[in-house]
């Protein structure tokens, strides 16, 4: 018992440190190669921070516990939106871009509907798993093509929601400093060229080390939490929906908070959307291909329904923020966190019945 508690404490400490390293590496690479921050969030952060869910779910399927894999994936999706994104925007509001409303959120909603449809009969076959993996390849390809096509226009909507006085002040400051920047440009260019390769190398090293430590620390936390939960007599499904889901969502939480704190708001939101897409398609898909899942009916009536309602709520809040030219801020964050509290209370009540 003490060993499990120690694993949780040490894992949390390493998790927080590795998240900062991970974000620094991703940000450096995004800037060096002019890759849109949202694409970095969807692909590198979204997939990278979902590695714990994938590892846990694959191991659960191999060891004959497919319900744990399903509860882990869907529980993580609920936590990512309600708790992770909610807590992130409570600290640092996010500007909603047109591409997110027109493409990314409808795509996430469609994938959630497909997941619910596949579970309509209470089972997930290997064919269902293959379909999910094929969809994953198609979705990732679409995300890459569309995000790169947007290119430098990824922040064009920021101008609309910016304060006019602040913009005017920034323009004056820009004009005042323009001559000085031009004078320094020649000197900086040669220095930047000399430092380009080391910066890229440092970015890659930080990214890889941060990702590996995120996965390792999350695994330690999950192991300790499952050990404690087993001693307390909790069921496999509840362990997957709560302790394992929270534990494997810790990389998303600390990465999104770190990204928001560093001003990488697109990266933070892309992390959540990419992680949920990856959880639904890759995590569930891989686990199902390994071992078909006969799901408890309560998963569809409670957890998948909660995931669907939460996704609809997220789309609604983001569309409202975009249409009214406001930030996705603290009111929306508080609404998402309250949803998480309500879902948790619902989960506890269903267990006690």
Q: What percent of the chain has pLDDT over 70?
A: 66
Instruction: Give CA–CA dist 255/232, Å, rounded.
Output: 30
pLDDT value at residue 243: 67
The domain segmentation of the chain, as residue ranges, is 2-160+208-352
Two tokens at 316? Answer: 């609604």
Record the tokens describing residue 26, joined without a space.
């991703």
Region of poorest pLDDT, from 121-125, 146-150, 216-220: 146-150
Half-sphere exposure of 45 (CA within 13 A, CB side): 42
Picking from 103-107, 205-209, 225-229, 334-338, which range would have the lowest pLDDT averaged per residue? 225-229
The enclosing H or E element of 90 equals: helix 86-91
Q: Average pLDDT, whole number, for the chain? A: 75
Name, in order, each residue with C-beta under 8 angstroms of 294's C-beta and a sequence gap of 6 or more: 66, 122, 123
Does 111 score more than 90 pLDDT?
A: yes
Neighbours of 330 (CB within 10 A): 14
d(CA 254, CA 257): 5
Q: What is the pLDDT of residue 154?
A: 47
What pLDDT, on a 0 to 100 scale, did the predictor assign at position 209?
84
DSSP-assigned letter for residue 294: E
Which pLDDT tens digit goes with each residue over 178-230?
444 454 444 344 444 344 444 778 778 887 887 788 777 767 776 776 777 67
CA distance 52 to 255: 14
User: What whole-number distance in Å separates Cα of residue 65 and Cα of residue 230?
Assistant: 14
168: its two tokens: 């005017």
For the chain, helix, strand, coil in percent to 5 are: 85, 0, 10
Give the pLDDT of residue 135.
94
Judged by average pLDDT, the poorest of 35-49, 202-216, 273-287 is 35-49
The answer to whether the CB of 95 falls within 8 A of the CB of 267 is no
**Could you give the CA distance from residue 288 to residue 346 in angstroms, rounded to a whole number?**
27
Q: How far is CA 325 from CA 58, 158, 162, 335, in A?
A: 42, 9, 9, 19
The pLDDT value given to residue 295:
79
Comparing 54-63, 77-86, 328-337, the range with the smallest average pLDDT is 54-63
Q: For position 162, what pLDDT does the model report?
A: 43
Q: Does residue 352 register a pLDDT over 80?
A: no
pLDDT computed for residue 16 by the predictor: 65
- pTM exceeding 0.85: no
Cβ-contact 94, 269 below 8 angstroms: yes
DSSP sequence for 132-187: HHHHHHHHHHHHHHHHHHHGGGGGTTHHHHS-HHHHHHHHHHHHHHHHHHHHHHHH
Task: Please state which architecture CATH assigns to domain 2-160+208-352.
Answer: Up-down Bundle (1.20)
**20 or 324, higher pLDDT:** 324
Q: What is the pLDDT of residue 190?
A: 44
pLDDT above 80 (res 19): no
Task: Flag whether pLDDT at 262 surpasses 50.
Answer: yes
Structure-derived torsion over alpha carbons of residues 279, 296, 314, 117, reported in degrees to the nearest 10: 80
Which span out of 27-31, 165-169, 317-321 was modeled with the highest average pLDDT? 317-321
Q: Is the pLDDT of residue 160 over 70?
A: no
- Please report which confidence band the pLDDT of residue 248 belongs to, taking 50, 70 and 90 as the band edges: low
What is the pLDDT at residue 337? 93
């Amino acid at each position: 018992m003490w060993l499990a508690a120690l694993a949780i404490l040490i894992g949390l400490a390493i998790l927080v440190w590795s998240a900062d390293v991970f974000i620094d590496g991703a940000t450096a690479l995004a800037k060096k190669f002019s890759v849109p921050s949202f694409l970095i969030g969807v692909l590198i952060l979204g997939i990278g921070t979902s590695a714990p869910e994938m590892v846990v779910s694959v191991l659960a399927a191999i060891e004959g516990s497919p319900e744990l894999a399903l509860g882990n994936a869907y529980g993580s999706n609920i936590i990512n939106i309600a708790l992770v994104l909610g807590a992130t925007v409570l600290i640092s509001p996010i500007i909603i871009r047109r591409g997110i409303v027109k493409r990314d959120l409808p795509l996430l909603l469609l994938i959630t509907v497909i997941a619910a449809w596949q579970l309509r009969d209470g089972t997930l076959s290997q064919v269902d798993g293959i379909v999910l993996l094929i969809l994953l390849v198609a979705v990732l390809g679409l995300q890459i093509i569309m995000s790169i096509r947007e290119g430098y226009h990824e922040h064009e909507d920021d101008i609309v929601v910016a304060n006019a006085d602040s913009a005017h002040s920034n323009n004056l400051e820009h004009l005042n400093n323009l001559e000085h920047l031009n004078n320094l440009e020649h000197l900086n260019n040669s220095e930047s060229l000399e430092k380009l390769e080391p910066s890229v190398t440092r970015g890659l090293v930080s990214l890889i080390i941060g990702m590996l430590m995120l996965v390792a620390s999350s695994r330690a936390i999950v192991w300790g939490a499952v050990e404690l939960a087993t001693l307390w007599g909790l069921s496999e499904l509840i362990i997957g929906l709560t302790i394992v889901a929270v534990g494997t969502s810790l990389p998303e939480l600390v990465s999104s908070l770190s990204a928001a704190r560093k001003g990488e708001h697109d990266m933070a939101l892309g992390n959540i959307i990419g992680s949920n897409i990856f959880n639904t398609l890759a995590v569930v898909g891989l686990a199902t291909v390994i071992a078909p899942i006969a799901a408890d009916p309560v998963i569809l009536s409670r957890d998948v329904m909660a995931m669907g309602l939460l996704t609809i709520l997220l789309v609604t809040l983001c569309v409202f923020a975009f249409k009214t030219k406001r930030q996705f801020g603290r009111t929306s964050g508080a609404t998402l966190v309250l949803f998480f509290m309500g879902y948790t209370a619902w989960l506890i009540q269903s267990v006690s019945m």
